[in-house]
Amino acid sequence: MVFLRAIAFIVILAGASLSQAKCFDIYILTGQSNSLGTTELEGTASAPGTHPADVHTAFYWSNVAPSSSDPNNITLYGDSAGSLTKLIMQQGDGVNPNFWGPEFGFSRKLFEAGRSNVLVIKVSRGGGGNRHWLPTTGHMTNHLLKQIDIALASIRNSGDTFKIKGLMYLQGESNNDDEAALADTRLQTLVDCVQSHINADYPGTATSMYTVVGELASSKAGATRVKTTALQNSLARGKSKVGFCETNDLPLKSDAIHFGRDAKLEIGRRFADAFISREWVENPLLIAGYSANQGVASPHPVAQGFSQKGNVTGVVMEGIADSGTLAWRIRSDNQRGNTEYRRTLTPIEFQRMLARGWKFKVRTKVLSGSGSVCWSITKSSDPGWSIANSGIEIGFHFTRINDAELEVRIGGNKPAINLVVGSADQYHSFELRGKRLSNQIDLYIDGQLRRDEINLQKISEVSSSADALVFSCGSKDDVASEVYWNEVSIFVLD
């Protein structure tokens, strides 16, 4: 009997040990000074504040000083001494009291989305072009891989497991002409190097790694930065496992090259949104679109491939939970200029739409004023719809009228469809479904067929100068507009 009790006790202990083992979701952060995160020029307001995620996020870091150049002789700002710690600010230098970057906003957004057992491995450098991240000759790649090895060995030695979920890259301000011209290929080389290195020692753990590239600061200031940004963005557009997050709407510090406290937190949140939205953006049927229904908090549209355009004076743009419905809120007091979200469409995407048929879906609520959403195509991109020389725009214009009634126009000046009184206080779904190899379209409102066999040419605006999917609140004299967008999407049909 004593023997059996001993066996039972051992089994219980073994089960308890197994239940306590963790499987970490690992995200790797690297890049130059905006990845590192400077704190100079901000006085006492430079710290990230506190958040419950800070003590629940595992953190490993080893930051490199810009005096380093030899792959075998690295000078550090500081490190976590080869151990995992909680999320903390890192050792600074003479002018920076501390360093901290996107890792704080990133970890906090993941925590709010219900993600647990998150580990961030940060290996950033204080400036420098992308040559430093070249395999073999680049000291940053050499140091990055070494630190990854130490962190992963620490996890395995503790009896835990892991999956490499992602790589975050924020680099490019210091690229010279040659480095800018190779910004895409060198980034892809780095991604491949990190992934293959980890998989060699821990097979399969990095196979699904997703990469998110942050737009560099002052991306429009100078030819090298413009070139770097264009190539990094192009790489993301052409790769299913690479995303690009815009940052050019965020303010810089007085040095005009570094992001301050609030911008760093926002960049981190956008990085997290990109990972949370991964299932959405990688859907093979999706052409382009925004969905607020990713995670427990509405992601930013730029994390799903959109660019933010237009005047932002007097405009509020934020993710909200509206009585249980997630949405992206745009409220504009600027009656003369729209703020819009735009995603460029390509001729290949139009060819897929024609060949397979398509569905353009919008789910929205208009609280005041108006909102617009459309996709547009120029004559030169026409795959076979017989587009007019001036191009066309196809979409919806929504206006709140008579206090609580929603007016819908398919195309800005077409006859209106007025929904019932009180309709403007609810979310409604609107779909245009294009038939395969045809310019015939069906209109659905809230899942019900309202019109069929509509000619694409007859519901379009008169012209378009761009190939894009766009959504925005409207601008109307003396009327502020507030619109909640739950979904704006174009899918090809099965």
DSSP 8-state symbol, 241: T
What pLDDT digit, counting tens, does each position of 142-200 carry?
A: 999 999 999 999 999 999 999 999 999 999 999 999 999 999 999 999 999 999 999 99
**Shared fold status for 23-283 and 287-492:** no
Residue 103 confidence (pLDDT): 99
Which residue matches tokens 């400036």?
127
Mean pLDDT (10-residue bins), the chain, 494 residues:
48 48 97 98 94 98 93 92 98 95 98 95 97 94 97 97 98 98 98 98 97 96 97 91 93 97 97 94 95 89 90 84 95 73 96 98 95 94 91 92 92 78 93 95 96 81 81 74 97 94
Residue 465 confidence (pLDDT): 74
Q: What type of residue sits at position 64?
A: V
Residue 15 confidence (pLDDT): 47
DSSP 8-state symbol, 465: S
What does the alpha-carbon distance between residue 332 and residue 312 come to, in Å, rounded to a whole number? 8
Domain ranges across the chain: 23-283, 287-492
Sequence-distant (6+) residues with CB within 8 A of 451 are: 442, 443
Structure tokens belonging to residue 272? 């997290």
Phi, psi of 225 (to 5 degrees): -70, -40
Alpha-carbon dihedral sign for residues 325, 326, 331, 336: negative
CA 20 to chain centroid: 33
Structure tokens belonging to residue 433? 């479904």
Cβ contact 450:441 at 8 Å: no
Residue 11 confidence (pLDDT): 45
What does the alpha-carbon distance between residue 317 and residue 194 come to, in Å, rounded to a whole number? 36
What are the CA-CA distances from residue 34 to residues 128, 240, 256, 330, 351 (Å)? 11, 25, 12, 28, 39
Residue 10 confidence (pLDDT): 46
Phi, psi of 437 (to 5 degrees): 55, 40
Residue 17 confidence (pLDDT): 45
CATH class label, 287-492? mainly beta
Structure tokens belonging to residue 383? 């795959």
What does the alpha-carbon distance between residue 104 and residue 89 come to, in Å, rounded to a whole number? 9
Sequence-distant (6+) residues with CB within 8 A of 19 are: none
pTM: 0.86
Q: CATH assignment of 23-283?
A: 3.40.50.1110
What does the alpha-carbon distance between residue 339 and residue 371 come to, in Å, rounded to a whole number? 11
Residue 56 confidence (pLDDT): 98
Residue 334 confidence (pLDDT): 63
